[in-house]
Amino acid sequence: MRIIKHKNQAKLRPPEELIKQPISASFQENLDRLSRLLSSCSDVVIKEFSFGQPGIRAGIFFFDGLVDKYQVEYSLLKPLMLELNMQNNPPPVNSIQDMLNYVETRILNMSELKKLDSLQDVCHHMTSGDTVLLIDGYTEGLVAGTRSWEARAVQTPENEITVFGPKEGFTETLRFNTALLRRKLKSTQFKMESLTIGRVTKTDVIVCYIDNIAPAGLVEEVKKRLENIDIDAILDTGYIAELITDYKWTIFTQTEHTEKPDRVCGQLLEGKVCIIADGSPMALIVPISFPEYMISPEDYYVHFIAASLFRMLRFVAFLMALLLPSLYVAIITYHHEMIPTPLLLTIASTRQGIPFPAFLEALLLEFTFELLREAGLRLPRAVGPAVSIVGALIIGDSAVRAGLVSTPMVVVVAFTGIASFVNPSYNAGIIIRIARFGFLFASALLGFMGIIIALILMMLRMASLSSFGLPYLSPLAPLNLSQMGDILVRRPWFNNHNRPYIGGMQNVVRQAGPEQDGGR
């Protein structure tokens, strides 16, 4: 037994070695090798046939479900098996010196055809949904682009809802996504460089940038970092975000995710680089600075005065979502003198007989809110109303009636919750949610002093970060007054002549000079 097994191993190469082999001139050998490589792959289709007079052995290989079978049958098999023979004067196959070339250029009516010469390429293309044609006697094969599978159509993004502006969103299919971008940026300067990352998933990752706007160094750096990734799988751009950021051990994310092509285009036009990956509807934008998290793409579509006010509102909401519970706890446990007497009396009257200290009460309610929020995310649609009723009635109303929590605390936590949903960026929302608890602890320990210490620590940390060389707090720190016009307020388009500058950018002029401005 042992000997036989040993012999078998000696005879048959292991698959890792087999796949590195080039395509053999013998079709039979190729067929054997591929059959072994693809053994136990129940979705593989191998169709053997012969064509011409006298027949030449050939075969097509593809994975079922990834290809358009109609196209395979009518554009690949039909020309070879039927039309070649039905020509008026079918040239004898022997007379053609290079049959492979002849098939590629004269017979197959397909636009996407490529030659390949290794089994590795064959497998890669097959798994990507292409169809491979191997012809006996040639060390090269033909690959035909027949990718087609059931995919989600382009829909309105569910998580980034805007009133104005384009409504389409990215899907899981990379080609759809690149098409969405290309349709908006009809320029040859808009580049999409492709990479393959992931040892198992072999995910197609595309780096998008506008050549004469994005700093060359930035593009190089992004590509370098992507090439350095060595991981078995990239299932979402979230993997990439974590792998390529400068500072990894921090809650302050340095990339932005978006489902909206218009937002990506807006960022590309400001010199950013966008990374999209097959299978992920989230595009990744780098570099990003923290103040940019407050910007919604919608700001650029509505009237600039309204947009500026919305943006200021968003900054206020950001501060409220971050600090409101801790400010409340600090005031009612340390700084009673800071609120007017009638307000203090109102609060005091609601706190009669509350069994918990204010800090614990805030912590419990915040925790409850996070629970409800997390539960709400994953609720099956049928139980959604039930959970809202439990959340609103039982926790909100009954807890107050039972005297477990005080009403102002419920108001504060609810207010904080609403304020945290104002933020247009989910990433920033996560930062706020985590930091809020830190501030709560700080305020319970030292009151306002604790909040100030925590704020200083947070600002120090944020100021020390950078995203691909862009300081995390720019343009606030280091201060760049010329760019402030697009942070707290939205600069009107008629007055917005330059792109916001990021290091190394060459082409900063976005609009004709101010002398052409005819506005009053």
Partner 1 sequence: MWCARLALNRMEVAKMRHIGLCGLILAALLIGGCGKIELQDTGIPLSVGADLKDDQIDLAICLANPLPTEKSTDNEPQFMVLNSSGSTFSEAIRNISLSFSDYPLWSHLQLSIVGENLARSDMSLVLDFITRNRYVRKDLLIVVTHKVTPAEILSVKPILAPHPPTAIKKMLKIQEAETGIYTPMNYTEILHRFLTAGIEPIIPMITIDRSGAEDRFLLDGMAVFKGRKMVGILNENESRGFRLMRPEQIRGGLFIMPSPLNRKNLVTLELSRSQAKITPVFKDNQMIMKIQLKAEGNFYEQSGTDNLFTEPMFKRLEAAAEQELTQQILDSIHKAQELNSDIFGWGEMVYRSDPRIWKTLEPKWDQIFPAVQSDISVDFSLRRSYLTDKSFVFR
Both tokens of 17, joined, read 């070695």
Residue 248 found at the interface with partner 1 (CB under 8 A): no
Nearest to 264 by CA among 282, 278, 277: 282
Q: Which amino acid is at 113?
A: L
Cβ distance 133 to 76 under 8 Å?
yes
Q: How many residues bind partner 1 (CB under 8 A)?
A: 28
Which residues contact residue 352 at a Cβ distance below 8 angstroms, ignoring those fewer than 6 apart? none
- Residue 137: which H helix or E strand, with range? none
On whether the CB atoms of residues 74 and 83 are closer than 8 A, the answer is no
Between 393 and 456, CB nearer to partner 1: 456
In the shown chain, the binding pattern of residues 288 to 317 toward partner 1, with x for contact by CB under 8 A and - for none, equals: ------------------------------
396 binds partner 1 (CB under 8 A): no
445 binds partner 1 (CB under 8 A): yes
Name residues whose C-beta falls within 8 Å of residue 213's C-beta, 6 or more positions apart in sequence.
189, 268, 269, 270, 271, 499, 505, 506, 507
For the bound state, the minimum distance from the C-beta of residue 489 to partner 1, rounded and expressed in Å, comes to: 36
Q: Which of 26, 139, 349, 506: binder of partner 1 (CB under 8 A)?
A: 349
Kindly tell me which residue out of 304, 334, 369, 439 binds partner 1, with binding defined by CB under 8 A.
334
Q: Are 439 and 326 within 8 A, CB to CB? A: yes
Nearer to partner 1, 55 or 357 (CB): 357
Residue 444 near partner 1 by CB under 8 A: yes
How distant, in Å, are the alpha carbons of 52, 341, 352, 400, 447 from that of 345? Answer: 97, 6, 11, 18, 20
Please say which residue, 218 or 347, places its beta carbon nearer to partner 1. 347
Question: Should residue 353 be labelled a site residue for partner 1 when binding is judged by CB under 8 A?
Answer: yes
Torsion of CA 101, 105, 111, 112, to 10 degrees: 10
Least distance from C-beta 442 to partner 1, angstroms?
8
Q: Which of 81, 192, 446, 484 binds partner 1 (CB under 8 A)?
A: 446
- Give the contacts of 468 (CB within 8 A, at least 6 positions apart): 218, 221, 222, 246, 254, 286, 287
- Nearest partner of 406 among 330, 487, 351, 472, judged by Cα: 351
Per residue, the 3-state secondary structure of 245-281, as one string, reads CCCCCCCCCCCEEECCHHHHHHHHCCCCEEEEECCCC
Helix/strand/coil percentages in the chain, nearest 5? 50, 15, 35
Cβ-based neighbours of 518, under 8 Å, separated by 6 or more = none
Name the residue nearer to partner 1 (CB basis): 368 or 407. Answer: 407
Contacts of 347 (CB under 8 A, 6+ apart): 332, 339, 406, 408
Query: Of the two residues 257 and 351, which places its CB atom closer to partner 1 in the complex?
Result: 351
Using CB under 8 A, which of 222, 332, 405, 432 touches partner 1? 332
Binder among 131, 350, 467, 483 for partner 1 (CB under 8 A): 350
Q: Check binding of 344 to partner 1 (CB under 8 A).
A: yes
Structure tokens at 394: 């039982």
CA gap 332, 325 in Å, rounded: 11
Closest by CA to 463, choosing from 279, 250, 302, 213, is 250
Task: Say whether residue 450 binds partner 1 (CB under 8 A).
Answer: yes
Query: Please, what is the minimum distance in Å from the beta carbon of residue 350 to partner 1?
Result: 7
> Reduced to 3 states, what is the DSSP secondary structure of residue 460?
helix
CB of 285 within 8 A of CB of 267?
A: yes
Give the DSSP H/E element, type plus range, for residue 190: strand 190-197
Residues 451-480 that bind partner 1 (CB under 8 A): 453
Per-residue interface string for the shown chain with partner 1, residues 107-136, x marking contact by CB under 8 A: ------------------------------
Beta carbon of residue 347, minimum distance to partner 1 (angstroms, whole number): 7
Residue 337 found at the interface with partner 1 (CB under 8 A): yes
Beta carbon nearer to partner 1, 111 or 352: 352
217 counts as binding partner 1 under rule CB under 8 A: no
Q: Which stretch binds partner 1 (CB under 8 A): 77-85, 197-205, 233-241, 445-453?
A: 445-453
Stretch of residues binding partner 1 (CB under 8 A), selected from 52-60, 282-290, 314-322, 353-361 = 353-361
Window contacting partner 1 (CB under 8 A); options: 156-164, 217-225, 342-350, 479-487 = 342-350
**Closest CB to partner 1 among residues 190, 439:** 439
Question: Between 108 and 409, whose beta carbon lies closer to partner 1?
Answer: 409
Q: Judged by CB under 8 A, does residue 333 bind partner 1?
A: yes
Q: Is 325 in the site for partner 1 (CB under 8 A)?
A: no
The region of 94-102, 103-111, 256-264, 437-445 touching partner 1 under the rule CB under 8 A is: 437-445
| Distance of closest approach, residue 164 Cβ to partner 1, in angstroms | 43
- Segment interacting with partner 1, rule: CB under 8 A, options 44-52, 168-176, 206-214, 354-362: 354-362
Site for partner 1, rule CB under 8 A? 332-334, 336-337, 341-342, 344-354, 357-358, 407, 442, 444-447, 450, 453
